[in-house]
Amino acid sequence: MTATEAEAEADSAVVGDDVYTDGTLVRDPDIEESLSQDEYDPKGTLALLLVYFLILALMWTYMYFVEFLGNGATVVG
Amino acid sequence: MSTPGETAGETVESAREMLPDNSFLIQYPHVSRVVRSLFLTAFVAFGIGAFMGVLQALHRTGIARIVESADYYTFLTLHGVLLAIVFTIFFLAGVFTWANTRSLDRPPVSKRFTWFWVVTMSAGTAMAGIAMLAGLLPSIDISADVLFTFYAPLQAHPIFYIGLAVFVIGTWLAGIDWFRQFLAWRREHPDERIPLQSFMVLTTMIMWFIATLGVAVEVVVFLIPWSLGIMPAPNPLLTRTLFWFFGHPIVYFWLMPAYLLWYTVLPKIAGGRLFSDPLARVVFVLFLLLSTPVGIHHQYLDPGIAEGFKFIAMTNTMFLLLPSLLTAFTVVASIEHGARQRGGTGYFGWLKALPWRDPAFTGMALAGLMFAAGGFSGMVNAGMNINYLVHNTLWVPGHFHLTVGTAVALSFMAGAYWLVPRITGRKLYSRPIGLFQVVLWFVGMVFMSAAMHRGGLAGIPRRTAEPQYPQVAFETVAGSVGSLRLQLAFGGVLLFVSALLFLMNVGLTAMNNKPARGLDSALPPALSGPEQSPTVLDNLKLWALIAVVLVILAYSLPLYSIVQGAGLYPAGQEASPAVIAPLLEVIA
Amino acid sequence: MHVHNYEKLWLGASLLLIVGFISTIVYGAAGAGITMVNDEGGQVNPKELGNTSGFDDPGVTKVGPNEYEVHIVALQFAFQPGTVELPANSTVTFYVTSRDVVHGFEVAGTNANTMVIPGEVSQITVEFDEPGEYGIVCHEYCGAGHHSMAAELIVREPSNFTMQDDTQTPTSGNETTNATATPTGGESA
């Protein structure tokens, strides 16, 4: 798909003023809904960040105890 | 490239009338001009700095050595100063000018004062730039091959230090301008909460005022008189410590404008609302308090500093992780809100409902993802004794190319795709090229940074023209050093191509005759608004005072003991290279 | 102040991470015995190293049954001495200082790593258990020839190790001119 085609396709689907960087946002008004503070629980965010937490804990353990303490001579005084 | 439904005769001038009345360019044409001129300097510096970068990537890996290895360090100085100081700070000055004006809904107090600081910053940049570039011409007796970390006894020409001082004064004036703008707003709105973007600008600038005191003392009290030959060489450890007093908080000076974009612009682009205005304020206050009393973590392996001081710097640094980890939650929850409003479902399925075809969104999202990885290598850097493993190895530039080189730089590029149409009234030249460009940056950085981190674990030093030694065999955990070199150079080339595409896309946008559309400058209100937070968060004087006290607590004893150790001007220190003959000797 | 419960949970997880990181570092210091280079090395005059005990004749000195001291002078663009030989199963204290600008000292492939600052002495004690050959590199930019600044460290089987020559001992009557000897670590490809 060339740039021109992409723009043409996007332009045809523009809805509303609140738009993409270049004025070509694709939005489907049917699925759009307004979520208020009380209705919204960021469970996806929590899930992503718990995965990140596990990665950090594992990587830290690996870096400290394998890469660092296993890296031969170390300064002890 | 013509799009259907657009008449050929439509020009930017006539289109300005079509812009909504609340678009930034219509409301603040003069401020838009200031931002354009700041961005222009930023992007010129970015182009030159990126070119230096690809030369280095090819040189140190031995793939193509176009310049002499002795000149490598001149290029390295240019790369560091142009990208880490000129590009970042000019761009953020543009973002802050825009954000402060937009959120306070009033222009700066004096046009002349605004242009005065723009000119001051530019003049300082030009002086430092001339000193660095002259290092490439042996016929001119000027050089500044001191790298971005300019401490004694390596010496640059005085014009380099004076240029830096002038530049920093320019940034102070900019901060004063933004504060005056805020105070003028305050007189008209005595009881309102500080608008969020302005709050971010002001807290960041207070942090910057405190942080730059270190480098101001280093440069004005010690380096300039020394380079002019008026005073003897200062205590090298003292100049290092003063440099890092400034050298770590500058990291947050780069990062805060990226955070400003993530907190305020990214939710809008994602079709959502900021999850929590109160936590955004808490995060910026934490950065104001904790950014500066941590600089000694860059000196974990310095002799002459007691271990206790290093430990204190480490605990402060570790707690500095907190505002970034909170940012991760608030920002991701804000874009998830956008995805859910647009039909996203599930624990991870909502990610598909995000506007991935928008380079402004995708650029910032990838920048945030890279920051998650850079955050990890930063945690390792922050750990005191594990620093023995990575200190001054290639791991360190691997780390900061993820943070300043991607989290910041890629957010700035993505932000430019969103902001440049708003300050020019011109339509972005090409969204697909923009999208390709931000993804290419991400891919290039994956190659380059991964190779750097692994090379660092093998002990390969940073900032070295030819890290190939007859005496040394570097051993990697997996893969050969040769393959790491290839990956590093390949990534560097991709990054350079991406930088060129960005500059081309932005340059053609500035010349684009098609009008931008739909530039409503309003930002959606936060889900949890400022009314849900205590007003003490807006007490800037209180936070500034606590920040100063923390800095005094963290630095007074270490500085005292360093000066007690070797003195301010220890015997036997000598400039290298002696850039100009010491004035005292000339007189004698 | 309103904070969503999920964000409170994440705040708790973040604090747990931070405390975990600090605890690991404390374990490294107290449990594994890792010490940071600090201010114990004291100060020297970088122009007077030729008259400073230890640095006037850089190299290896035996100070106990399995204990050695190594004085090293860093200069643009070499280390003195350019080759250090030590026996395995020894405890070695390095005293490193600079004659001119800031340098780095890193035994590549180990955690023996320190900054070298003119006027300050970096004192680090390292245990070498296994024989091996290591490169020493300067990892702090120190001028146009920075990339050629390296040396080598050879850890020998104790049975193969002899102190190289008498000039390395403090009782030697050798001149102190060694401190300004020609750089030896320099010729990089």
**The CATH homologous superfamily of the domain defined by C46-186:** Cupredoxins -  blue copper proteins (2.60.40.420)
Query: Which of A55, A63, A75, A76 to probe the C interface (max C CBs under 10 A)?
Result: A75
Report the neighbours of C using a cutoff of 3 or more CB pairs below 8 angstroms: A, B
Q: Give yes or no for residue B582 having a pLDDT over 80.
A: no
Lookup: tokens for B366:
């990838």
Which H or E element spans position B220? Answer: none
Average pLDDT over residues B409-426: 96
How far C42 CA lies from chain A's nearest CA (Å)?
15
Give A22-71 pLDDT, tens digit per residue.
Answer: 544 544 444 457 888 888 999 999 999 999 999 999 999 999 999 999 99
Give catalytic status of residue B157 as yes or no.
no
**Arithmetic mean of pLDDT over chain B:** 93
Q: Are C97 and B304 in contact (CB under 8 A)?
A: no
- For residue C87, the SS3 value is strand
pLDDT range class, residue B391, cuts 50, 70, 90: very high
Confidence at residue B258, expressed as pLDDT on a 0 to 100 scale: 98
Query: Could you tell me which residues come within 8 angstroms of residue B524 by beta carbon, excluding any fewer than 6 positions away?
Result: B267, B268, B272, B273, B274
Q: pLDDT of B249-262, one tens digit each?
A: 999 999 999 999 99
> Could you give the percent of chain B with pLDDT greater than 70?
95
Q: What topology is assigned to B4-587 in CATH? A: Cytochrome C Oxidase; Chain A (1.20.210)
Q: Which residues of C touch B330 (CB under 8 A)?
A: 7
Retrieve residue B368's tokens. 């945030």
* CB-based contact, C78 to chain B, within 8 Å: no
What ipTM goes with this model?
Answer: 0.92
**Nearest one of B470, B297, B484 to B391, comparing CA atoms:** B297
What per-residue confidence (pLDDT) applies to B478?
Answer: 79
Sheet arrangement for strand C113-116: C83-87, C150-156, C132-137, C103-107, C113-116
The conformational region for residue C176 under phi > 0 = left, psi -120 to 50 = alpha, else beta, is alpha
- pLDDT digit string (tens) for B262-300? 999 999 999 999 999 999 999 999 999 999 999 999 999
Q: Are C5 and B280 within 8 A, CB to CB?
A: no
B462 carries an active-site annotation: yes
The tens digit of pLDDT for each residue in B428-483 reads 999 999 999 999 999 999 999 999 999 999 999 999 999 999 999 998 877 899 99
* Chain C residues near residue B579 by CB distance under 8 angstroms: none
Are the beta carbons of C45 and B275 separated by less than 8 Å? no
What count of Cα atoms within 13 Å lies in the side-chain half-sphere of residue A21?
32
Kindly report the number of other CB atoms within 10 A of residue B122's CB atom.
18
CB B208 within 8 A of CB B256: no
Residues paired with residue B393 on neighbouring β-strands, in sequence order: B461
A18 contacts in B (CB within 8 Å)? 268, 271, 518, 520
Active site residue B248: yes
Using the beta-carbon criterion (under 8 Å), do B305 and C39 form an inter-chain contact? yes
| C-alpha R_g of chain A | 24
Q: Judge whether B188 and B518 are in contact, CB under 8 Å.
A: no
Nearest C-alpha in B relative to A74:
B388
User: What DSSP designation does C116 have?
Assistant: E
Contact between residue B272 and residue B339 where contact means Cβ atoms under 8 Å apart: yes
Q: Which amino acid is located at B297 in the chain?
A: H
pTM: 0.92
The residue ranges of every structural domain in chain A are 3-69
Which residues from C are below 8 Å from B301, CB to CB? 36-37, 113-115
* Confidence check: pLDDT of C180 > 90: no
Position B222 pLDDT exceeds 50: yes
Least CB–CB distance from A75: residue in C9, C21, C112: C112
